[in-house]
Amino acid sequence: HAIHVLNGPNLNLLGKREPEIYGRATLADVEAELRARAEAEGVALTFLQSNDEGALVTAVQEAGLAGAGIVVNAGAYTHTSIALRDAIAGSGALAVEVHLSNVHARESFRHRSMIAPVCIGVIAGFGTQSYALGFDACLAALRRRAD
């Protein structure tokens, strides 16, 4: 199986950015942990970050059309991007939405997700562990689909 981990705007600043909310681990740390997990499970991992909505739409399309699973932290685009939602729905991508922070314990504008309705499920609030949980959930769903 193949899993594409997609990161949206400002996640390149992870480790420096509001560490009281997002922690001290960097995106490179997250990638290293997921690469170890992917290797142990025999999964081909693609890991990408972009601040550009269009680049994320293209990445979702490519993953979905290739039959890969997606673990997506869309950052603030989670709350605004109908284009990302349509890319997940339109490419038939099997997607898991993840967030470092518990978005439901934060500002009300973070409570609504545009992409959650077209994802299998949502994991939020576990820091970098949200990615590991999302990876496992995505892989399980890919394996179920392949049965």
**Interface positions with ligand DQA (CB under 6 A):** 10, 73, 75-76, 78, 99-101, 103, 110
69: left (phi over 0), alpha (psi -120 to 50) or beta: beta
Residue 100 among known ligand-binding residues = yes
Catalytic-residue membership of 1: no
Closer CB to ligand DQA, residue 1 or residue 137? 137
* Contact yes or no for 60/71 (Cβ under 8 A): no
Residue 86 among known ligand-binding residues = yes
| 111 CB neighbour count, 10 Å cutoff | 11
Q: Residue 2 to residues 21, 61, 90, 143: CA-CA distances in angstroms?
A: 30, 14, 19, 11
Closer CB to ligand DQA, residue 104 or residue 143? 104
Catalytic-residue membership of 99: yes
Q: Which residues are annotated as a binding site?
A: 73, 79, 86, 100-101, 110
- Binding site feature residues for substrate: 73, 79, 86, 100-101, 110
Residues tagged active-site: 22, 99
